[in-house]
Amino acid sequence: MAEINKDVNSDLNLTTYSVTGSLHKNEVEDIVKDFYGQEPSQFVLWDVTSCSQIDLSAADLEQISKLISETRINRSKGKTAFVINENDLSLGILFENFAKMKNLPYEYRSFNSPDEAFAWFGLQ
């Protein structure tokens, strides 16, 4: 099980999820449902650099992208950044590709540091 801490910064229109422990598909799906069940922020940052394990398969990532595509929520100019250790970076890139295949109307990108993500958001 993962411990997922959520921080909402209304001034920056940013929601940050900081994850420790072992991350599983059902936990990500719960977060996605919660996020899109409310007024979503423009920017989302998933920091999984402190995860001991990211237990997500390619099929899991595809299912998560499908779940997001079914929300039909408008996040005007929405961007989601994944801050991931170098060893797990391919998972973020794989999700980016699923998002493109599902024509998700938001941008997704993977980074090695929060600073890179904030720069991409235009928040630095």
3-state secondary structure of 89: helix
Which helix (H) or strand (E) segment holds residue 119: the answer is: helix 114-121
Return the CATH fold of 2-121.
Transcription Regulator spoIIAA (3.30.750)
Give tens-digit pLDDT for 24-36.
Answer: 999 999 999 999 8
Give tens-digit pLDDT for 42-91.
Answer: 999 999 999 999 999 999 999 999 998 888 677 778 999 999 999 888 99
**Is residue 118 over pLDDT 80?**
yes
pLDDT at site 12 = 96
pLDDT at site 120 = 97
Which tokens in the block code for residue 20? 């420790």
Is this prediction's pTM over 0.85?
yes
Do 80 and 96 contact (CB within 8 A), yes or no?
Answer: no
- Kindly list the distances between the CA atom of residue 123 and the CA atoms of 19, 37, 97, 116, 118, in Å, as whole numbers in the listed order: 22, 25, 25, 10, 5
